[in-house]
A = this chain, B = another copy of it.
Amino acid sequence: MDREEFRAAAHSAIDDILAYFDSVPDRRVLPAVDPGYLRPLIPENPPVESESWDQIQQDVDTKIKPGLTHWQSPNFMAYYPASVTYPSILGEMYSAAFTAPAFNWLCSPACTELETIVMDWVAKSLGLPACFLSTSENLGGGVIQNSASDAIATIMVAARERRVCELVLAEGLKEGTVEFDERKMDLQPRLVALASDQTHSSAAKGALIAGTRFRSVPTRLEDDMAMTASRLREVLEKCEEDRLTPYHLTLTFGTTNTCSVDHFAEIKAVLQERPEWQRIWVHVDAAYAGASLVADEWQYIAKDFAEGVDSFNTNMHKWLLVNFDASVLFVRNRFDLTNALDITPTYLRNPYSDMGTVIDYRNWSISLGRRFRALKIWFVIRSYGLNGMKAHIRKTISLGNTFADLVRGRSDLFEIVTKPAFCLTVFRIKNPEIPNDTSGAVCNKDEVADGITKKVYELINTRGEIFITSTVIDGIYVIRVVSANPMAEEKYVRNAFDIIVRTTEEVLKKKP
């Protein structure tokens, strides 16, 4: 492919991408394919000779597009969104063109420096406390990670190293000695990472990757599935009884199941109760809901992170208009990361890094090389402006409220299970044989309701007009509906609700 062929191909691809976005609302959100659909459509062996772009683009159209789940569809109301926007695509184009595995400053100064500057922009956009800025006295800063899973695995390792080194130093051993390293190995098996049972599975996976134990703090429907101080204290005390050393705690701002928010202030107070609890690395996982912080009315939440929080993460690729991958991780102390992860051989040394005048992001993550992802974040923030980003958050939250109101309006059929929050409504179909409970008490376990809810959920997804997800919380089977992607509109929310009502009535009618 020569330059003119590329120009033609790229222009054609852009037109095709636009046509794809135009077609998205009318496409079946879940593809009508069975596992293994693609294998028979693709030659068994790679081609020996070059193929033309026309052939390739045609295959994208006829073989790939029919197998996509359309996350940009306004009828996609499952999980949490994964958005893409025009300026973000432009960022990916330039990022590819400027390919450089920017593992140190010299490898591409613009790549490193723009990341530092843009992460400060993001911190300011979210109203994060100043301690997370790269310019802070405490030497905090942000780094772009692939995903929240990578972010949490990275800080789990950093937290493990910080805690175990502290313990060994406290015993009077000297860093760099054989005794020090041996003692670290002795102590490591006693470390345990904590999180609530509603925390995203990446916390348990991060603890596993770091080779440490994991324990979860139970939550209850009465607490809207949030982690509370008293439940955490019970687990901390149990750890002590079992001679385990908690070293990491994941708090969640917007859990995966129900978008609940852990009780930050009271939890931080519990951690002050004992000196050893004060040494626990506190991470706030705001993978989805963190995006709301761009809107001023939510920024009060971030005030809780000014003290007693070591790291904060949100995925701009969920709700904040940047395409995957753009998981932004902020730490209060960059040396917590670099002390754990810096293994610098000769071939990666350069005078600027050695002087500490520049950031080498390879020591802020598991990956050595990295893409130039700051470009797409920069493009999105500039193209939308803060006001455009706020408008997106406010509009989608308002659509979520509309949906929740519709559900409330049919209390004959539906029951809201947890407090609707940040575009998410969690509800179930009522057991028609149980009279309406207007006491405001939490939902009771009910196998009949579970069964009907499951049936409605499965029928809707099988038909594929809209795509929603289900989950089980505190033993109750529920449906989750989220409407937070850039194409979301009221008419789609209303249509989704109509489908749910129709399907519910159909299922209830069929019941013997």
Contact surface of A with B, Cβ cutoff 8 Å: 1, 3, 5-7, 9-11, 13-15, 17-18, 20-22, 30-31, 33, 35-39, 42, 45-51, 53, 55-56, 60, 63-69, 71-72, 79, 82-90, 92-101, 105-111, 113-114, 116-117, 121, 124-125, 146-150, 153, 157, 160, 185-186, 188-189, 201-202, 204-205, 208-213, 256-257, 317, 323-325, 340-341, 343-348, 352, 357-358, 366-371, 375, 378-379, 381-388, 469, 471-472
Contact = CB atoms under 8 A, between A and B. Distances in A.
A343 B208 contact: yes
Nearest to A202: B368
Given A37-B113, A68-B111, A93-B96, 11 more contacts: A3-B86, A10-B86, A31-B110, A35-B109, A48-B387, A64-B114, A67-B109, A68-B98, A68-B109, A71-B99, A149-B366
Contact of A84 (B49, B97, B105): B97
Nearest 4 A-B pairs (CB), nearest first? A211-B211, A67-B110, A6-B86, A185-B189
A371 B150 contact: no
8 contacts: A1-B383, A14-B93, A56-B383, A64-B98, A68-B100, A92-B95, A92-B96, A366-B366
B317 A101 contact: yes
Contacts of A106: 30, 69
A455 B48 CA distance: 47
A413 B39 CA distance: 57
A110 to B, nearest CB: 3
A94 B188 contact: no
Contact of A93 (B89, B105, B324): B89
A14 B7 contact: yes
Contacts of A160: 211
B110 A82 contact: no
Contacts of A150: 366-367
Given A20-B97, A39-B117, A385 B47 contact: yes
Given A105-B35, A147-B369, A366-B366, A50 B88 contact: no
A325 B53 CA distance: 22
B46 A386 contact: yes
A180 to B, nearest CB: 13
A49 B93 contact: no
A83 B99 contact: yes
A146 B109 CA distance: 21
B94 A13 contact: yes
Candidate in A49, A160, A324, A370 with the most chain B CB atoms within 10 angstroms: A324
A189 B183 CA distance: 10
Contacts of A212: 211
A201 to B, nearest CB: 5
Contact of A121 (B15, B46, B204): B46
A209 B210 contact: yes
A7 B358 CA distance: 37
Given A49-B387, A108-B67, A150-B367, A87 B1 contact: yes
Given A11-B11, A99-B317, A117-B39, A383 B69 contact: no
Candidate in A46, A56, A347 with the most chain B CB atoms within 10 angstroms: A46
A38 B110 CA distance: 7
A343 B146 contact: no
